[in-house]
Amino acid sequence: MGDHSKPRRFELSAALRWVKAHPKVVTSAVVGIVGVITAFNPEFPAAAVVSAVHAILGV
């Protein structure tokens, strides 16, 4: 059988490269997810999470 039949491993470096190349998509997803969590749990540290994402991505 060929290479197409072999299971692919999750490549963390490829995922991180994609995240660095698409910071607006990642930031939008994080803001949406944090918004939903905050709606159910108002004590969730939303500002800290969003600030951390911005700091990591350099946005």
Looking at residue 16, its pLDDT comes to 87
Average pLDDT over residues 23-52: 93
pLDDT value at position 32?
94
pTM: 0.71
What end-to-end distance do the CA atoms of the chain give, in Å? Answer: 45
CA-wise closest residue to 41 among 30, 29, 53, 33? 33
